[in-house]
Amino acid sequence: MPFGNTHNNFKLNFKVEDEFPDLSKHNNHMAKVLTKEIYGKLRDKQTPSGYTLDDVIQTGVDNPGHPFIMTVGCVAGDEESYEVFKDLLDPIISDRHGGYKPTDKHATDLNFENLKGGDDLDPNYVLSSRVRTGRSIKGYTLPPHNSRGERRAIEKLSVEALTSLDGEFKGRYYPLKSMTDAEQDQLINDHFLFDKPVSPLLTCAGMARDWPDGRGIWHNDAKSFLVWVNEEDHLRVIAMEQGGNMREVFRRFCVGLKRIEEIFKKHNHGFMWNEHLGYVLTCPSNLGTGLRGGVHVKLPKLSTHAKFDEILGRLRLQKRGTGGVDTASVGGVFDISNADRLGSSEVAQVQLVVDGVKLMVEMEKKLEKGEAVDSMIPAQK
């Protein structure tokens, strides 16, 4: 229930032209797609939980974006948003996910055995490996829209599910609002703690409401499997470790996710998923697998090569700084991960990371020896 938009019926007294947002300075997917016609067609609609078009687009109206970086500019408030507002969201999904059509089907593959290799990335270059995704719990509305009661129910159900895990997944939950100082320091040192969102992309969508109520972090005793509860999505699931054994990280990721999903299903609250959009998450950019598999890798020479960005593009990879999205790289160390989310499976996306990083490390080694790497530049994947 974000601000000012729940009284949708009252708003219909005003004409479309009077309510249509001024998007003349905007550069985001929503602004490129939303016309007065689409606005007029969708503005009197609501999802069953009462989420409206203006709710969907508020973050994109408030954040005009940057000429070089194209954000999505809209969010879903619940599973049904993707259906009720498909006239707006389908073209946005197509733009963001490489032409994905409303009739396309998304393949889910969480069988880690289907991954080839991935256990031999050179740890002299690959400092750490990580796979994350998000999951939404069916029957609840999403972070932009949910009420305190819902958020608390999501937390309660998630904690129940997670604390029943055993073996390598045995662990503990730390609610944000009752964390001790010692626990907080430890979580910061482990790079686990997430903070109240400050990005206006998130705050304008209402995702920081009531902070820190209902939010927390769960991790296993080995500190290799971590779940964020009620940040940008219901659950963010992360498997990580130092070094280059992406294969092991992916195994743990898949096994852990399946165990968690079983428990939620037993409680009649499986994950939001459908065969068109895959896993349904708050941001349309995370649909499909919601998966970002990546490494922190030292590429001081390759990263300054004229064709670095082109190589990444061909490998279907993206670079980020070591602080994550919208940060700069430090000391030639980059966060390299898959660029795609929707239209290919988890195994396929992690395979691209594994193969692509392996190739780039080889290229880095060649450059160290003063050799050229032009012959190694790959074809478009």
* Interacting residues toward other proteins by CB under 8 A: 1-4, 6-11, 13-15, 18-22, 49-50, 54, 58, 61-62, 147-150, 152-153, 177, 203-204, 208-211, 213
Q: How far is the CB of 200 from other proteins (least distance, A)?
A: 8
Q: How far is the CB of 50 from other proteins (least distance, A)?
A: 5
Q: How far is the CB of 26 from other proteins (least distance, A)?
A: 11
Which CB, 87 or 210, lies closer to other proteins?
A: 210
Q: List phi, psi (to 5°) of 304.
A: -100, 0
Which CB, 51 or 253, lies closer to other proteins?
A: 51
The single residue listed with the structure tokens 């922190």 is: 296
| Distance from C-alpha of 147 to C-alpha of 300, rounded to nearest angstrom | 47
Which CB, 152 or 305, lies closer to other proteins?
A: 152
Q: How far is the CB of 59 from other proteins (least distance, A)?
A: 10
Instruction: Identify any residues that bridge with 334 across adjacent strands, giving them in sequence order.
Output: 297
Which CB, 172 or 177, lies closer to other proteins?
A: 177
Which CB, 178 or 189, lies closer to other proteins?
A: 178
DSSP state of 253: H
| Strand 292-298 versus strand 273-274 pairing type | unpaired
| Distance from C-alpha of 232 to C-alpha of 270, rounded to nearest angstrom | 19
Task: Give the closest residue to 257 by CA, choosing from 157, 143, 162.
Answer: 162
257-274 as b/e: b if 16+ CB within 10 A: bebbbebbeeeebebbbe
Q: How far is the CB of 9 from other proteins (least distance, A)?
A: 7
Which CB, 19 or 168, lies closer to other proteins?
A: 19
Interaxial angle between packed helices 148-163 and 246-266, expressed in degrees from 0 to 180 and rounded to the nearest 10 = 120
| Distance from C-alpha of 43 to C-alpha of 53, rounded to nearest angstrom | 6
Q: How far is the CB of 15 from other proteins (least distance, A)?
A: 7
Structure tokens at 127: 């400092």
